[in-house]
Amino acid sequence: METPTKLPELFGSMVFNEQTMKDRLSKASYEAWEKSVTDGTPLELATANEIAEAMKRWAVEKGATHYTHWFQPMTGVTAEKHDSFIEPAEGGRIIMDFSGKELVKGEPDASSFPNGGIRSTFEARGYTAWDPTSFAFVKDNSLYIPTVFLSYGGQALDKKTPLLRSIEKLNQQAIRILRLFGDNDTKRVVPQVGAEQEYFLIDKDLYDQREDLRLTGRTLFGNMPPRGQELSDHYFGQLKPRVSEYMKDLDNELWKVGILSKTKHNEVAPSQHEMAPIYTECNAACDQNQLTMELMKKVALRHNLVCLIHEKPFLGVNGSGKHNNWSLGTDTGKNLFKPGSTPRQNAQFLLFLAAFIKGIDEYQGTLRCTVASAGNDHRLGAQEAPPAVLSIFLGDELERVVRSIIDDTPYENSGKKKLKIGVDSLPQIRQDTTDRNRTSPMAFTGNKFEFRMLGSAQSVSGPNIALNTIMAEELREMADKLEDSKNFNSDLQKLIKKTLTEHQRIIFDGDGYDDAWLEEAKRRGLANYPSTADAIPHYDDKENVELYVKNEIYTEEEMHARRAIHEEIYNAQIQIEARTMSDMIRRQILPAVSEYAAVMGERVMTKKNVGFSSAYEEKIGSKISVLSDKLMLSCEKIDNDLKKVPSDSVKAVQYNRNTVYKEMVKAREIADELENLTDRDYWPFPVYADLLFSE
Ligand code: ADP
Ligand code: MG
């Protein structure tokens, strides 16, 4: 099959999308698919068969020989199991077969995926089911069918099932609100997401020489080179042509699977880059971000590069995050977070805004948990990413509007006494004035909220499940109140005012990097969970369990299971890092520095023999020896600590953070000091200057 070279033909060429379905399905089947997307009507087997047949034909034309149910287990990465289309036929021939049943349902051996204890109490198998709201695509000669992953008891074992549930709940509640404002046209409200992805690119030959990068995705040792981030515009050097080749290649691959990316050079840190896709429906955006991360890594290898998606590959260099841009769109093309031009639209906007503000304030804990990971612990609150405390930045104009509502005061330039919601228009809110505060964890940027606490390596499903569910909950509460109202406008005004007044503590427009903010946040009673170990205990706090259970996103059991998996992943990551560190110290660093110290010792003797001064050699040799002993002890402590990790995962999280990780920090300090003293030729692996600047 020829790969198209022009973007219009290339874009989505490997996606079984709406247009392809329209072209290749009977009208009845196309409409049945459409209906299953808009109101969840299950597909009849005959329809599924027809779709499967069309999908298979199309996929085979695109070079596919296999198909896979592609799903998102709770590990945060994606999983796939490939089956061949090939069925033996008479006369030793083969036919390419794929039925509706195979499209709609698969039964992967689920035992290797984490379940947080769910499946041990139920059936040991799981099944996957096609999610007709996200498009199938062809990649690496396989037809990828996006699916949900469930236990036989119906419990969600993945991230897509709760995401779809949350999208549906949010839709239901948002529609109730729109009806109150006389909107009878909108049939669906859908969260829309644009996930900006940061990453590093480094040379593969150098990467291969670093065990820490290979096993943990980040460097466990290393000093900043003499040149840091300060002259970032010169950093690409030799890497540049390779990087731009890479980006071209990546864009092509992303476009083929229907991801409209705009890759950009990001000049914050050397070797760091960013990709921003055009936003799309939340469900597709989550699939696409998973696919993006996968393709970023895969395409890099073709250029002898390695793509690091870890949150903190290099100490002392800005790490990577993900900005989750989130808004609410309607099937009629409106954005519900866009301040309107009429008083009625303004009133509706303010209601959605108030609901959002209330929700973020009430559910800070769960939002914080959705971005908690060992990798992200290096960034949040470290002056390079938002603090670990949730707050909302509204921008000057909108904040003034909110203040005038809360204080009942006239707002500037209005010429009116005070803002009457539903009667007055809002001032124009210009987009360029809303985006100035880069330190805010949750910034209003004109017509969307940008959630900036996410780690670069994580799935964006968790944070979006939280945002959707929180919004659904708040809108439900408001709809319950307003649907009974006898005087809508005045009750609306009261409700908005009350809500904003009660939750104004979450609004903050100052410098989130300033320590003074943490003090202030404490006085305001905002939650501050600096690390994963501090956050996870709040995972299933009462209000969070109530939120998800009431909205039928998770059962209580599913929540506990998810917390357990979150803990398991955290524990595994810290322990792998600790073991890798110990291995590198014992088998690479200590032997190397010992050799170099011995060389220094010999030089001292040689020089002394001829009467030369040898203060330098003595000093270095002795310093290295003292530090080596310290490093050995620290490494022994890590090894011993690792033997005593509690088997209970709740306790293990605290232990790993407060004992194992703490010692790792100490060991690293000693090792980095040794790196500074040791002849480059003796140091056993490439250093930061090599990794970050390959020119
Ligand atoms: P920046 O100036 O940071 O590049 P942009 O406005 O260009 O900001 O968009 C950043 C990201 O937000 C992009 O992925 C973009 O597609 C996405 N985005 C833009 N508008 C919306 C929206 N209404 N809802 C969700 N995401 C959006
Ligand atoms: Mg951004």
For position 378, what pLDDT does the model report?
97
| Ligand 1 site, residue 12, Cβ cutoff 6 A | no
**Strand runs (DSSP E) across 166-271, as ranges?**
189-203, 261-265
Chunked in runs of 10, what are the mean pLDDT values of the chain (695 residues)? Answer: 69 93 95 86 87 93 92 83 78 77 76 67 68 92 90 84 96 97 95 96 96 98 80 51 90 94 71 92 96 97 96 94 97 93 86 98 98 97 92 91 88 59 67 68 94 97 98 98 94 96 96 93 97 96 97 94 94 98 98 98 97 97 98 98 96 98 98 97 96 71
Q: How many CA atoms lie within 13 A of 682 on its CB side?
A: 19
279 alpha carbon, closest ligand: 1
CATH of 167-553, one of 3.30.590.10, 3.30.720.200, 3.40.50.2000, 3.40.50.280: 3.30.590.10
Distance 554 CA to ligand 2 centre (A): 30
Q: Any idea which ligand is nearest the CA of 443?
A: 2
Query: Which atom of ligand 1 is found nearest the CA of 338?
Result: 23
Those residues with Cβ within 8 angstroms of residue 194's Cβ, 6 or more apart along the chain or in another chain: 276, 277, 278, 279, 280, 285, 324, 325, 448
For residue 452, the CA-to-ligand 1 centroid distance in Å is 12
**Is the beta carbon of 196 within 6 A of some atom in ligand 1?**
yes
The reported pLDDT for the residue numbered 237 is 45
Instruction: Indicate the burial class of 313 (C-beta count within 10 angstroms; 0-12, 13-18, 19 or more).
Output: buried
Q: Is 277 in the pocket of ligand 1 (CB under 6 A)?
A: yes
Cα–Cα dist 25/597, whole Å: 74
Identify the burial level of 515 via C-beta atoms within 10 angstroms of its C-beta, where 0-12 means exposed, 13-18 middle and 19 or more buried: exposed
Ramachandran bin of 188, using left for φ above 0, alpha for ψ from -120 to 50, beta for the remaining angles: beta
The ligand with the least distance to the CA atom of 263 is 1
* DSSP summary character for residue 79: E
Which ligand number lies closest to the CA of residue 327? Answer: 1
Atom of ligand 1 nearest to the CA of 277: 14
| CATH 3.10.20.70 residue window(s) in the chain | 7-158
Nearest to 16 by CA among 32, 30, 2: 30
What the block records as the tokens of 176 is 């109730």
Fold exhibited by the domain 569-692: Four Helix Bundle (Hemerythrin (Met), subunit A) (1.20.120)
Q: Report yes or no: 452 and 321 within 8 Å, Cβ to Cβ.
A: yes
The answer, yes or no, to whether any atom of ligand 1 lies below 6 A from the CB of 446, is no
**Rounded Cα–Cα distance for residues 276 and 263 (Å):** 6
Q: Is 364 in the pocket of ligand 1 (CB under 6 A)?
A: no
Residue nearest to atom 11 of ligand 1 (CA): 194
Ligand 1: does its nearest atom lie under 6 Å from the Cβ of 448?
yes
Q: Give the integer Cα–Cα distance in Å for 297 and 310.
A: 12
Cβ-based neighbours of 430, under 8 Å, separated by 6 or more: 397, 446
Ligand of minimum distance to the alpha carbon of 276: 1
CA distance 368 to 170: 20
Task: Compute the distance between CA of residue 592 and CA of residue 661 in angstroms, rounded to an integer.
Answer: 24
CA 549 to the chain's CA centroid:
23
Tokens 């808004």 locate to: 327
Say if ligand 1 is within 6 A of residue 476 CB.
no
What pLDDT shows up at residue 335?
Answer: 96
* Top CATH class, 7-158: alpha beta
Look at residue 44 in the predicted model and tell me its pLDDT.
86
322 C-alpha to center of ligand 2: Å?
Answer: 8
The DSSP-derived string for 294-315 is HHHHHHHHHTTEEEE--S-SST
Q: Residues near 643 by Cβ (< 8 Å), separated by ≥ 6?
A: none
Q: What's the 335 CA to ligand 1 centre distance in angstroms?
A: 13
In terms of DSSP H, where are the helices of 363-487? 364-370, 396-407, 461-483
Q: Which atom of ligand 1 is nearest to the CA of 264?
A: 4
Angle between helices 282-302 and 239-256 (to 10 degrees): 140
For the full predicted model, state whether its pTM sits above 0.85. Answer: yes
Sign for the pseudo-dihedral over CA of 56, 59, 60, 65: negative
The whole-number pLDDT of residue 694 equals 60
Query: How many angstroms does the Cα of residue 289 sit away from the middle of ligand 1?
Result: 14
**Cα 202 from Cα 305, distance rounded (Å):** 5
Query: Would you say the CB of residue 113 lies under 6 angstroms from ligand 1?
Result: no
